[in-house]
Amino acid sequence: MSVVKVEQGMLKGAVCIADAENYYAYKGIPYAKPPIGKLRFKAPEPPDSWDGVRDALEHGPVCPQYNERLQRIDMGSEDCLFLNVYTKTLQPEKKLPVMVWIHGGAFYTGSGNSDYYGPEFFMQHNVVLVTFNYRLEVFGFLCLDNEEVPGNAGLKDQVAALTWVKKNICSFGGDPENITIFGCSAGASSTSYHMISEMSQGLFNKAICQSGVCLNDWSYNIYARQRALQLGKLLGKDTKDVNELLQFLRGVPSESLINVKLPTVVAEYPDISDVMTFSPVIENPNLKVEKFISDAPINLVKKGKISKIPIMLGYTSGEGIEICRNFVDSVSFFSKTGMVLPRELKLNTPLGVIKQMDEKVRHHYFGNKTLSLDILQNLVNLHTDSVFSYNIRRFARYHFINSLMPVYFYKFTTETERNHTKKSYKMDQVGGVCHADDLPYLFNIKCLKIPLTENSKLAVEQVVKLWVNFASCGNPTANFSNVEWKPFTEEDKYCFIIDRTLKCDLNVNEDNMRLWDELYGEKLIKIEK
């Protein structure tokens, strides 16, 4: 029997088979009221109930978006706040660990649907997997700095989804006291945001951040109001009155709010992160509404205002391929003084100091060579560190220092025929695993032609087992006989190398990390035992 009872009513799911293993799938479950009409851009409201048995056999609509992976517009619907639950059994002897996936996509593309996030690999294990949609781009991240639209509606959608899971996951055999949230890129940044937001506290017990944290420059927008005014002007409403702008934007057809191309922000020091037009913001602390976050992430992390939970986090060895894939178009961009520095370092820093920092970074990564295709690998290495890995490791340090909870840090270097993104970018001449090329080792991706051979199947089984172990008991190598993943600490910076052969190393990439520690003014902190 596949009918279950949740807070809103009865749900009928489907019984599926993968590799001779049965599992249950419940798709398209509404976790909030449809954010349409006057609720457009606002924080989500609790879901409505229904009478009778509701079919949960198909995914709900996705948020209107430009689907970057398939390079097409998906109109979907603004009524898009749906989640999906996959479970091995509805009545286990012991409640199962729950893994809640937060999809990435630069806060403007993606969904929780199984065409990309197929659950089959996880359903070989005793876990409950949840995926979901949240509002994207303008719909989820417009900020007018007022009480009507303070920003971060998409992150508040995620809170609503986590709240629903906490209340209802028992009905699917899941343990509400053992919930792990995890995500990649913008999904990983979101995961770490929930660790520092008061709205999310108590809704999860562990976290996994793949290739992103809230400290990465691209994780938050410092030009939100300017972007909103630019949007109005682009669509025909040139006003600085946010109430007037809101009335106008509420009436704009949804197709006008997809894949918006706004003018470049005029800033003293332009930055790679400026291309993120609608994304998380630091909400105005003076507004009289519940806020997701109202202080800079680094301030909250340094103050220790963070969930005291075990975490697992890391990066792929060639993250910078994502930044450098259009190298020829961006040579002049990277040549400008300051363009090799993260935004956080440039804010409130005198020009002379920025120039010195810029020279130091270029010399460290390029030696005396000038920017050209000959040093593409060097540029990829630089952006792997500056845009991704340094602040991921910095987050790991502060989490350990402030929580003393286990921190499992990794570098993902596995390469098989499942590494699809790097191939699609035609960047095979560069070494390293591209941003998001770890995803095919966790999910059965059906919308792209990604092979699964005996060679890659073993790698998939290994990666999924590490993730499931961490979600189950907090130790990713709990039942591995030949290797131990030692926790990262301030004194012993262990890093687990995830390749076909697994190994645990100390002080990986330490020379580069030391440079960024110096630039950011970070010091080794002695921990009182």
Closest CA to 366 of 351, 356, 380: 380
| Run of H or E including 407 | strand 407-412
Closest CA to 387 of 422, 344, 446, 325: 344
Q: Exactly one of 111, 185, 279, 307 is catalytic; which is it? A: 185
Read off the tokens for 45: 């409201």
Place of tokens 């949230």: 181
Q: Exactly one of 120, 137, 283, 319 is catalytic; which is it? A: 319
Place of tokens 């993943």: 485
DSSP character for 216?
S
Confirm whether 111 is a catalytic residue: no
| Run of H or E including 4 | strand 3-6
Is residue 414 within 8 A of residue 499, CB to CB? The reply is yes
Read off the tokens for 381: 């290495």
Cα(217)–Cα(143) distance, integer angstroms: 18
Confirm whether 59 is a catalytic residue: no
How many CB atoms neighbour CB 428 within 10 A?
Answer: 9
Backbone torsion region of residue 21, taken as left when φ is above 0, otherwise alpha when ψ lies between -120 and 50, otherwise beta: beta
Strands (E), 119-248: 128-132, 174-184, 206-210
Cα(252)–Cα(40) distance, integer angstroms: 11
Cα(245)–Cα(457) distance, integer angstroms: 52
Angle between helices 224-235 and 242-250 (to 10 degrees): 50
Closest CA to 45 of 53, 37, 55, 57: 37
- What is the pairing mode between strands 9-12 and 3-6? antiparallel
DSSP character for 384?
I
How many CB atoms neighbour CB 48 within 10 A?
Answer: 11
Closest CA to 462 of 410, 389, 421: 410
Q: Exactly one of 415, 435, 456, 472 is catalytic; which is it? A: 435
Cα(382)–Cα(415) distance, integer angstroms: 21
Burial 341-350 (b: 16+ CB within 10 A, else e): bbbbbbeeee
Confirm whether 484 is a catalytic residue: no
Cα(315)–Cα(412) distance, integer angstroms: 6
| Run of H or E including 100 | strand 96-102
Q: How far is CA 248 from CA 186, 211, 239, 253, 343, in A?
A: 29, 37, 10, 10, 33
| Run of H or E including 315 | strand 311-316
Is residue 110 within 8 A of residue 435, CB to CB? The reply is no
Q: Which residues are catalytic?
A: 185, 319, 435
